[in-house]
Amino acid sequence: MSTERDSETTFDEDSQPNDEVVPYSDDETEDELDDQGSTVEPEQNRINREAEENREPFRKECTWQVKANDRKYHEQPHFMNTKFFCIKESKYANNAIKTYKYNAFTFIPMNLFEQFKRAANLYFLILLILQAIPQISTLAWYTTLVPLLLVLGVTAIKDLVDDVARHKMDKEINNRTCEVIKDGRFKVAKWKDIQVGDVIRLKKNDFVPADILLLSSSEPNSLCYVETAELDGETNLKFKMSLEITDQYLQREDTLATFDGFIECEEPNNRLDKFTGTLFWRNTSFPLDADKILLRGCVIRNTDFCHGLVIFAGADTKIMKNSGKTRFKRTKIDYLMNYMVYTIFVVLTLLSAGLAIGHAYWEAQVGNYSWYLYDGEDDTPSYRGFLNFWGYIIVLNTMVPISLYVSVEVIRLGQSHFINWDLQMYYAEKDTPAKARTTTLNEQLGQIHYIFSDKTGTLTQNIMTFKKCCINGQIYGDHRDASQHNHNKIEQVDFSWNTYADGKLAFYDHYLIEQIQSGKEPEVRQFFFLLAVCHTVMVDRTDGQLNYQAASPDEGALVNAARNFGFAFLARTQNTITISELGTERTYNVLAILDFNSDRKRMSIIVRTPEGNIKLYCKGADTVIYERLHRMNPTKQETQDALDIFANETLRTLCLCYKEIEEKQFAEWNKKFMAASVASTNRDEALDKVYEEIEKDLILLGATAIEDKLQDGVPETISKLAKADIKIWVLTGDKKETAENIGFACELLTEDTTICYGEDINSLLHARMENQRNRGGVYAKFAPPVQEPFFPPGGNRALIITGSWLNEILLEKKTKRSKILKLKFPRTEEERRMRTQSKRRLEAKKEQRQKNFVDLACECSAVICCRVTPKQKAMVVDLVKRYKKAITLAIGDGANDVNMIKTAHIGVGISGQEGMQAVMSSDYSFAQFRYLQRLLLVHGRWSYIRMCKFLRYFFYKNFAFTLVHFWYSFFNGYSAQTAYEDWFITLYNVLYSSLPVLLMGLLDQDVSDKLSLRFPGLYIVGQRDLLFNYKRFFVSLLHGVLTSMILFFIPLGAYLQTVGQDGEAPSDYQSFAVTIASALVITVNFQIGLDTSYWTFVNAFSIFGSIALYFGIMFDIHSAGIHVLFPSTFQFTGTASNALRQPYIWLTIILTVAVCLLPVVAIRFLSMTIWPSESDKIQKHRKRLKAEEQWQRRQQVFRRGVSSRRSAYAFSHQRGYADLISSGRSIRKKRSPLDAIVADGTAEYRRTGDS
């Protein structure tokens, strides 16, 4: 037993989580993980596996067939799939994108079908059918039809507007153009007309319209540079390269037109980084992989033109396969509202059943013996009771408010427009307003518990700037003049003396310029020379300007800084690099490039100077550089102190060093380097070992400090959200050190914060699991769960955890399968049972472990998850949703944030540096993180308060209106007769009481926006569901019941034994109905006045206007003229004018309204005086709180040598361009002119840098 338990709880001993690497690809399968291990498998296992693989040797994976320039091939019968009965369509999708839901023919039937899937609409349709049955109809059919048509019409118009917008967007994308070969020539065609097998031409800055195989390009070796921001959020360029055969033969238009290659490849799938296929051409087969495929959504950069063959089009493209189905999100209030409507259904059914039983009893006791009540029907009392049950279902149907849903939609639509129109969330620099992309989630913005934020581009600007440096122990970058004197106000450095300066660098230390120009300290010049030479940046010239393309934004910032300080990188070939050194061009021979990777954390280059000396230049993270320095480095401590200062200022640091190499030493090393470069196995490990031999005894030059600048207002926003009891988790793919320092920069972490790492909490979770298992036993299920905190009370803690540790802790790690012979099915029933039990135990353990992790993380004030994949981001959000039942919001700006944005209750997209895919998948979008505080603390809180007030009042007014019928039934033999006129019932929710409550739901605010931001604690009521819950619902129900009693019984008492002044008796049923209706309309409209916190002219006009509208319509409906035209429809002829000219009727109405409202006024006064809420207190003192308190950043005290933080270089998640440069594949070679291309004027050939 113990052995079995141990086997479940232990992890792989040989694989500790690596903090530096992003975990496995989201698409990696168990089999692929197996392939990464080089262990020897048993012979029998190998035989079984090979037999299974060879069953379908090639067709197993590659079943997608594409023939170039042959559309008819793809229309063959065996490529057709049956879609509907005998209707067939090709399995090859066309390239038109369709995101709309309806067309002109399907809109009405499909929209009605969707609307009647909503329970309330279906209920009213059934009611309408019941009202058409004469035996049970107690109300005219139009009392239900008119409101139902209004509800369906408003919703249909809203859906139509949304779908028209989708049609326009689809049309815009589908009508983009590119060149396609037709009839042997390139012709302009729309994207929607492109088909699989077409050969297309794309030009610089074009979007790729489909997934295509790269055939050739204007670059050497048919390289093609693409930007993949729409796919993975990364703005650095990536390169693709065609097959050598297609590069050689498919450059001209005529050869492309006759190209007849045949491709067999994998079926369409969503794996962005994988592709498997084969090209058959010229009696030879050529393997294809992802490096030869351009995906839809990429943008062609730095490549004048390229040609490609369409493999997947439209819905089959990988980006469309990745978009997935957007989850339908509903708010917490939506779910609660539905449960309350179900509760009302139950109450309605019980009331109807009780009254039906009462009618059956009354018929048996009274009706059958009263000759004057005989209606010609000889039905039994029980049958009459059954009919009356349905009659009361119809009469009391207004308890379920038909206009509730459409009113909610109108309010949400208005609130969404307020967000769109908010000028304080408009970003003028990029002309980007805030955008509510959904209208269904506004009030949920006022209930957020957890925010999950991306880092790069969301908290930061994703724009790296060179801020400071330390050279030879001296720090540069402060505000100093050329004489080394500090100044608070000083002009920025003028770089006009440098012809290559780009004019974008803001630098204020004039002393550094003086040092560079004077040359007094050679280390200063050597420092910037190192930045100009040691990199893998690619360069091209446009209109005489240098354009750099770097593998990471940090590297681009450093090369640009060197360029501004006079050391400009101009050109490179396979073996040379050309630098302008203070105006003098010098070319250096590149002997070797030792590229970055996440293990090495550094990059080196070995060059031969024009004088013949060999030098190695190296830059990297301080932790690895300091280990490789020569013992005699005089500035080592000064540089260390500078690194501490830079880290304290949350700058990203990098150490620079060099060494001189003797010819003999280099020759010996180069032999080992060349041998490792061609190693057939473990090449990377062999190269790293060789690199280690040369990268030692280095001489330290200094350190750079780059600022990944925070967006404006980020610390202020985080501070205010924290005061609103909202916890912020940062989920990023960046490195641990970088993420940690950004945490300090935005004040998510402080010097007082105790930071816990993956290894710390792993032991805590192990201990908790052991305790839970020890407590578990036979009686464990009966014992109450013990919630013990993980940390002692008090203290400010934060958790920083990497993706690898996250997999380890949550038991999500994909472990390699044990290499033993496994059968597909268990051989015996006992084996099957044992396997099932083991699987259940593992699932239960995993679930408990995940719950413990969430409990632990939620005890921390801040959580930072770094080096996480998009899948892990979504997983963390889902865990908090699942185990905390908390409302979550995810905010990001890249395509790698889409999964997280879709998983959270609310997704917010920032339109930043990484494309628009996050915005397209989001519910709300804006341009800056700081707008989040206004979205939540102002719009979210107001929306929540407005919606809660609206719902409470709506239920109240409908109960007050409907339950009058209930009290009336005790006096009419439970006969299902209505207490009002039919037209009043029809128009009550539509005209007489709708506008004031709608305006309150749109405009009401308890405190102003400035005070909402100043007092974030006001937000907590939404998190705790204090304003709308079952308790509040039943209070509204009780309020409605009491109001209905007063509305019925006071007029009833007034009408008993009464005679009018003129001798007429106004105690008739119709006058009674008018009196109750008048008192009801005045009461509910004055009640909304009591509920309104923010009075405007519009509110006041709507309240008094609704009352005036009621009297105006009533006098018209009760006029003799309309009765003559429609005698059966309008039967209350003259009732209003007759009843309302009696003074005591008006006295009755006034008395009824007063008795309804005075207790409410008294209770409100007492509650605000004795138990005031936070908003009551702020409202009371709002004049005193006019001045907005200015938020001030916390002053940080730097203590030398104490800081343990170190920001480091943001390495690219992939290697740089070193392999590409060294192989010479990127170097331009002159090529014979291409007639067709030159004729179009699209080719611009650049010369090599040294020609």
Report the range of poorest mean pLDDT among 260-264, 888-892, 1075-1079, 1246-1250: 1246-1250
Answer positive or negative: Cα dihedral of 261, 263, 268, 272. negative
**pLDDT tens-digit readout, 911-957:** 865 556 678 778 899 999 999 999 999 999 999 999 999 999 999 99
Report the range of poorest mean pLDDT among 227-231, 557-561, 593-597, 868-872: 227-231
Which residue type does 1222 have? S
Residue 13 has pLDDT above 50, yes or no: no
- Quote the Cα angle for 265-267-271, to 5°: 100
Question: In this structure, what token pair is assigned to residue 494?
Answer: 């003028």
Instruction: Quickly state the pLDDT bin for 38 (edges 50, 70, 90).
Output: very low
Instruction: Quickly state the pLDDT bin for 895 (edges 50, 70, 90).
Output: low
- The confidence score (pLDDT) of residue 1019 equals 92
- The confidence score (pLDDT) of residue 1123 equals 67
Nearest to 1011 by CA among 1182, 1144, 852: 1182
- pLDDT top residue among 506 and 1127: 506
Tell me, what DSSP letter sits at residue 939?
A: I
pTM above 0.75, yes or no: yes
Instruction: Quickly state the pLDDT bin for 908 (edges 50, 70, 90).
Output: very high
- The confidence score (pLDDT) of residue 587 equals 93
SS3 of 1044, please?
Answer: helix
- The confidence score (pLDDT) of residue 1224 equals 67
Region 201-208 average pLDDT: 92
Residue 688 has pLDDT above 80, yes or no: yes
Q: Which among 454, 708, 734, 1004 is annotated as catalytic?
A: 454
- The confidence score (pLDDT) of residue 164 equals 86
Residue 513 has pLDDT above 80, yes or no: yes
- The confidence score (pLDDT) of residue 795 equals 74
Region 125-140 average pLDDT: 78
Question: In this structure, what token pair is assigned to residue 185?
Answer: 């020539």
Report the range of poorest mean pLDDT among 291-305, 711-725, 1207-1221: 1207-1221
**pLDDT tens-digit readout, 984-1042:** 888 898 889 989 999 999 999 888 888 888 889 999 999 998 899 999 999 999 999 99
SS3 of 593, please?
Answer: strand
817, 818, 821, 824: CA torsion to nearest 10: -30
Measured distance CA(334)–CA(354) in Å, rounded: 30
- The confidence score (pLDDT) of residue 279 equals 92
Within a 10 A sphere around the Cβ of 1176, how many other Cβ atoms?
16
Residue 32 has pLDDT above 50, yes or no: no
* 375: exposed, middle or buried (Cβ count in 10 Å: 0-12, 13-18, 19+): exposed
Instruction: Quickly state the pLDDT bin for 154 (edges 50, 70, 90).
Output: confident
Question: In this structure, what token pair is assigned to residue 4?
Answer: 């079995």
Instruction: Quickly state the pLDDT bin for 958 (edges 50, 70, 90).
Output: very high
DSSP codes joined into one string, 1051-1110: HHHHHTT---TTS----SHHHHHHHHHHHHHHHHHHHHHHH-SS--HHHHHHHHHHHHHH
- The confidence score (pLDDT) of residue 20 equals 56
- The confidence score (pLDDT) of residue 372 equals 57
**pLDDT tens-digit readout, 652-665:** 889 999 999 999 99
Instruction: Quickly state the pLDDT bin for 1064 (edges 50, 70, 90).
Output: low
Measured distance CA(1015)–CA(1179) in Å, rounded: 12
Residue 750 has pLDDT above 60, yes or no: yes
**pLDDT tens-digit readout, 1110-1162:** 999 998 888 877 767 776 777 777 778 778 888 888 999 999 999 999 999 99
**pLDDT tens-digit readout, 408-443:** 888 998 999 999 999 999 998 888 899 998 888 899
Instruction: Quickly state the pLDDT bin for 816 (edges 50, 70, 90).
Output: very low
- The confidence score (pLDDT) of residue 15 equals 47
- 454 annotated active-site: yes
SS3 of 514, please?
Answer: helix
Percent above pLDDT 70 for the chain: 82
- pLDDT top residue among 145 and 5: 145
Question: In this structure, what token pair is assigned to residue 1123?
Answer: 């009765």
Instruction: Quickly state the pLDDT bin for 322 (edges 50, 70, 90).
Output: low
Strand partners, 300: 226
Nearest to 389 by CA among 345, 351, 344: 351
Residue 466: alpha-carbon gap to chain centroid: 31
Nearest to 940 by CA among 889, 900, 898: 889
- The confidence score (pLDDT) of residue 1120 equals 75
Tell me, what DSSP letter sits at residue 442?
A: G
Percent above pLDDT 90 for the chain: 32
User: What is the overall mean pLDDT for the chain?
Assistant: 81
Report the range of poorest mean pLDDT among 36-50, 247-261, 816-830, 1031-1045: 36-50
- The confidence score (pLDDT) of residue 1134 equals 74
Residue 597 has pLDDT above 80, yes or no: no
Instruction: Quickly state the pLDDT bin for 1244 (edges 50, 70, 90).
Output: very low
